[in-house]
Amino acid sequence: MIDSLFSWIDDRVALSRSGRHLLDKIFPDHWSFMIGEIALYSFIVLLLTGVFLTLYFVPSSTPVVYHGIYAPLRGQTVSEAYDSTINLSFAVRGGLLMRQMHHWAANIFVGAIVVHMLRVFFTGGFRRPREANWMLGTTLLILAIFNGFLGYSLPDDLISGTGIRIAFSIMESIPFVGTYLAYFLFGGSFPGTAIIPRFFILHVLVLPLLIIGLLAGHLGMLVKHKHAQFPGKGARDDNVVGSPLWPTYAAKAGGFFFLTTGVTALLGAIVQINPIWQYGQYYAYKVSYAVQPDWYMGWLDGALRVMPAWEINLPGHMIPNVFFPAVLLPGLTFNLIYAWPFIEAKLSGDTAEHHLLDRPRDKPLRTALGAAVFAFYFVLFGASATDVLANYLSITLNVVLWSFRILCIVVPIVVFPVAYKICVELRDTPGAGQRKRHNIIVRSADGGYSTIAADEYPGYVRPELEPVALDEVDLVAAMSADADQGPEGVYRIPRDYS
């Protein structure tokens, strides 16, 4: 009965062929290949919690008088956006948990993308044929950062309002077109009343749709190219050694989704994030000291802080200081990331297809360069906390600022040779990074010495799971014979199979 129902459906949607192919898909086993999944799962958490938030959030700058539960705001004139965010936090059951989970998931989302990108970079996973997927991933990172900024701007609180003000100024700093752009986006001068609804529709519709579409492309290309793998255990450029999607990776990925969600829920439950009831409604005449953006905008904020007060005065037009750290720097950064696969191919002359990943130590120049560039952005990231560091370390703010100006030049210069040297040493040292074994020295009866390699530790037997090739079965033939009773093995699909 159920079987016949399935075959009735399958006759019409024809999923079992391609589904079988997908379920038997082999993915290589390595923990670092699961980092991208963190981003995927936190994005799902973002979608789920975000839908909950949209049920209560009112994207409007219309002033209303707060009459809710939180006494220090009662009677204050706030925007509907702020009012509804406070109410969904305090008056909606589970609302604050949902809002905090949403915010933490956003932080984890962008963080996982960056870590995933570092993994791909340092293992050379961007090389042919994966250059396009690297660029797609970079676009996803940019969209994630933008959507994070839009999202934390929506509550219209004092801190995020200051951030929007900075964003307005950054747009204005673009030569010639800046003021037009800023006035176009904000529907007039700052702050206006258009920005909250506009940010809302971008945040909940336009950017998520773009992200979902590009994510589908990202994963589709992953399936098409197959996942790259580390060498060893029989892995070659023309095969994939690992475990099948069903049941191994289905279980792993399913469990990982719940665990990622669990981490997000734990953070949302026990660690406060963005307590906007303490910040209050944004008014252009109110300001708080010590305002930073969320961490993924931190490197831009840090760049703004450490940038000396230079500007270029052209005849009839001034290029303001803000332009260099806040427009030029991210522009160069992302264009460099986009272009890196081609730059490296040009420099190394290596344009061949690669499905085997590099160990970072085996490419010391790339690793050192990547580490130095990453160190530069990490210092900028730290520079967005100049005041917090000065306060906690009891140092003058000015000293901290100057330290960061020097560090953002010195640290990359130091990191490059150190990383290079470490890579070369690791590469040239046999067995580096592996557990050392004791050698038991045995003296024989006639006085000679010999050594026996001991177990890594007593009783340790290393499970060796050497890959075993499975019988290949021609998929089409197997299907036509008897799909249910087909022999076990890997179904082989001819290239021209559609």
Partner 1 sequence: MAAPAGVVLLALALAAVFYAPRQVRADGAPTASLRSAALVDATLPNNAAALAEGRTLFDENCSSCHGTQAQGSALAPNLRGLGSATVDLWVSSGWMPLANPGVQPARKPSHFTPSQTVAIARYVGSLAPGGLAIPTVDLKGSNPAEGFSVFALNCAPCHTITGAGDALSGGIAAPPLHGVTGTQIEEAIRTGPGNMPRFSTFTVSKAQLADVVDYVTHYIEHPDSPGGGLTLGGVGPVAEGFVGLFAGVGGCVLIALWIGDRDERDGDEGGSGPSHPGHDDGPGTESPEREVAHA
User: By C-beta, is 79 or 174 nearer to partner 1?
Assistant: 79
Shortest distance (Å) from residue 272 CB to partner 1: 4
- State the pairing for strand pair 490-492/472-474: parallel
Phi, psi of 497 (to 5 degrees): -75, 135
Shortest distance (Å) from residue 65 CB to partner 1: 10
User: By C-beta, is 201 or 269 nearer to partner 1?
Assistant: 269
User: By C-beta, is 20 or 182 nearer to partner 1?
Assistant: 20
Shortest distance (Å) from residue 6 CB to partner 1: 26
Q: Which residues on adjacent β-strands are paired with residue 313?
A: 318
User: By C-beta, is 19 or 213 nearer to partner 1?
Assistant: 19
User: By C-beta, is 89 or 133 nearer to partner 1?
Assistant: 89
Q: Which of 273, 217, 301, 255 has its CA nearest to residue 105?
A: 273
Reported for 383-389, long-range contacts at CB under 8 A and 24+ positions apart, including other chains, are: 383/301, 383/302, 383/303, 383/305, 383/306, 383/408, 384/292, 384/293, 384/297, 384/298, 384/299, 384/300, 384/301, 384/302, 384/305, 385/292, 385/298, 385/302, 386/302, 386/305, 387/289, 387/290, 388/290, 388/292
User: By C-beta, is 179 or 351 nearer to partner 1?
Assistant: 351
Shortest distance (Å) from residue 316 CB to partner 1: 34
Distance CA 393, CA 397 (A): 10
User: By C-beta, is 319 or 371 nearer to partner 1?
Assistant: 371
Shortest distance (Å) from residue 34 CB to partner 1: 4
Shortest distance (Å) from residue 264 CB to partner 1: 7
User: By C-beta, is 354 or 359 nearer to partner 1?
Assistant: 359
Phi, psi of 492 (to 5 degrees): -100, 125
One-letter amino acid of 94: G
- The 3-state secondary structure of 428-456 reads HCCCCCCCCCCEEEEECCCCCEEEEECCC
C-alpha gyration radius of the chain: 28
Shortest distance (Å) from residue 454 CB to partner 1: 15
Q: Which of 137, 154, 173, 50 has its CA nearest to residue 102?
A: 50
Shortest distance (Å) from residue 255 CB to partner 1: 6
Torsion of CA 466, 472, 476, 477, to 10 degrees: -140
